[in-house]
Amino acid sequence: MHVLQRLQCQSGWCLGFCLAHLGRFAEKEILPGRYGIAIVGIARSVQPVAFSQRLLHTNRTSYDVKEAASPLESVLTIEEVGDNEFCASTPWTPYGQSVKHMFGGQAVGQALMAAGRTLRGEHAGKLVNSLHAYFLRAANLTSPITYKVDCIRDGKSYSVRQVSAIQDGCPFFTSTMSFHHYEESSPLYHQVDLPQDIPMPEDLLEPSEVVERYLNDASQARLCSHISVYPSRVIDFRDGDYPRDDTAKPDKNRKVLWMKLRQQLSKANPLLHQCAMAYLSDFLISRTAFRIEAHSTHLSPLRFASLDHGLWIHSPDALANDWLLYVLESPVAKAGRGLNTGRLYSRDGKLLASTAQEGAYRMQRL
């Protein structure tokens, strides 16, 4: 199994480092790294410079054409095929060819699109205020998906929909969603403010710059860290772990990620923007729980799976076109499960959405 899966993005070649079977290159010793779980022992089999050059020239495998060029609107596209029934023919993953399963954020976004399209008549102006989803099993990237929507309730202020996603005759995802006619006035108004010490996207390295700065520094354990550089022609991002000022110390208890769509969405379609935010809300959140544990010497490589996903959208005017800040934390992990929470802010500090996701975490056999 390859140490590295090379992926292609708009600005050049980016890298995704995998915690996988390292074969003869590593002795499977896990130590804490600045940016995550560091695997050491590689230099004993391969000289540092030679190893870094190997990373530069291994696996020049491009995306599938459909994966490389799809704008987010295409990723979220569904077709109505029956009464409250929709079909999506293009399961997709932003993580490249090493991943064989559909990205959970696409299921959340498409299910929300399906539910929103069943709001008709006087209910058509409602927008989602919350959704609660369960990932029942992994979905493959080859078979089409059917979304079946049950209209549970249509009230004056709120509507509720239940969505089941089915692939090859088996449900793999289910979600309940609430839609609301947003109210102009409210007796309560407050939010958790944007943390003051958050770096702006201009203060963070681009993914290609992360590779350029750290790839040839084989003396650093972080070279082999399990960093997530997600190349995508759909999303531009800046990881808070990689400031331009290399002396800055990332907070191990908090993950910070700036995200922005590479292609602007029409402001005339608020449902599409909410689906885009639902899609984005699944990025990196499941990794937050073991971010803290990566600084503990007892941790071994993990395999993990998302169990559920919760999303609350607070602002009816939330748009996904500009930079969005994702602040991720994990308040607790035990009994083989970890809870991850997130807050999505606009660049000017407005809290747009909140998220929560529980994951199952088990030891990875090497």
Catalytically active residues, by annotation? 282, 306, 357
CB 312 within 8 A of CB 354: yes
Tokens, residue 205: 């390295």
CB 172 within 8 A of CB 133: no
How far from each other are the two terminal CA atoms of the chain, in whole angstroms? 11
Residue closest to 241 by CA, chosen among 60, 38, 51, 94: 38
What gap in Å lies between CA 298 and CA 294, rounded to an integer? 9
The H or E element spanning position 5 is strand 4-9
What gap in Å lies between CA 348 and CA 180, rounded to an integer? 25
Helix ranges (H only) for the chain are: 48-57, 65-69, 72-75, 104-116, 207-214, 270-280, 289-293
CB-neighbour burial class of residue 295 (10 A; exposed 0-12, middle 13-18, buried 19+): middle
Q: Phi then psi for 51, rounded to 5 degrees? A: -65, -40
Residue closest to 206 by CA, chosen among 234, 239, 233, 232: 239
Q: How far is CA 134 from CA 28, 29, 117, 163, 313, in A?
A: 33, 34, 21, 11, 18
